[in-house]
Amino acid sequence: MVFDSVIYLFLIIFFLIFFIISVFKDLKKYKNSRLIQSFIPTMIGVLFLSSFGIINYFLEIRDNSPIIIQAGYDGGFNGAWFEFRKDGTYKFVNSGGIGADIFRGKYEIKDSIIILDKNDIDNFIKSEKLAIREVKNYDSTFFKVLYQIDDNHKIIDKESRFTINEDKRIE
C-alpha cells in the first residue's frame, strides 16, 4: 500500500503548510487584539492533527497480531482474501477495480474447519464455515485451499475457493 502512504504524506504536508500559516496569522491577530479567541483556528488545527494521529495509531494496532493463515482468490480485475490472526480475529478484503471493502470479525479453528462469526459477508461469503482442503496440482503436487462449506460439510461452490498462501498453524 505504498500509494496510500504517498497520499497520506501529501495530505500531512498540505495540512502542515496551512497550519503554520494559520499559526502566524493567529499570532499577528493576538498581538493586535490581545484576545485569546484569536487562537481558535490554531486550536481547531491542533484538534484535527491530534485526532488524525490517534485514529491512525488505533488503526495500526488493530492488525498487530501475527497472521497464521492467509488465503486469497485472484479474479483478475478483482480479488478477495482472508487474513486469520493469532488473536482469533480475521480480516476479509473484497477488492474490485479501484476500491476494496474490508470486513472484520472473530473466528475459531477446529481441526481443518474455520468457523466465522458471520455467515454473509459482502454477498461473497455465504457460509460461516470454511474448510481447509488439499488439492492436487497439475504436476501431482498438492496445495491447500479454503472452501465454503454447508452444515453437512459439503463444498458450496468448488469454483469459489481461496488458495492458502500462508499457513503457520502448529500441526
Name the pLDDT band for 171 (thresholds 50, 70, 90): low
Q: What is the pLDDT of residues 75-97, one digit of tens each?
A: 778 889 999 999 999 999 998 87
Determine the residue type at 130.
L
37: left (phi over 0), alpha (psi -120 to 50) or beta: alpha
For residue 126, give the 3-state DSSP assignment: coil
**Which of 163, 89, 92 has its CA nearest to residue 133?**
163
Q: How far apart are the first and last CA of the chain?
A: 32
**Residue 113 above 70 pLDDT?**
yes
CB 93 within 8 A of CB 102: yes
pTM over 0.75: no
Q: d(Cα 38, Cα 65) in Å, to the nearest integer?
A: 45
Domain ranges within the chain, ordered by starting residue: 2-62, 67-167
84: left (phi over 0), alpha (psi -120 to 50) or beta: beta
Name the pLDDT band for 131 (thresholds 50, 70, 90): very high
Name the pLDDT band for 18 (thresholds 50, 70, 90): confident
The Cβ-side half-sphere exposure at 38, using a 13 Å CA radius, reads 14
Residues 6+ apart with CB under 8 A from 100: 93, 94
127-143 mean pLDDT: 91
**Each residue of 102-114: b (16+ CB within 10 Å) or e?**
ebeeebeeeeeeb
Class of domain 67-167: mainly beta
Q: d(Cα 147, Cα 26) in Å, to the nearest integer?
A: 60
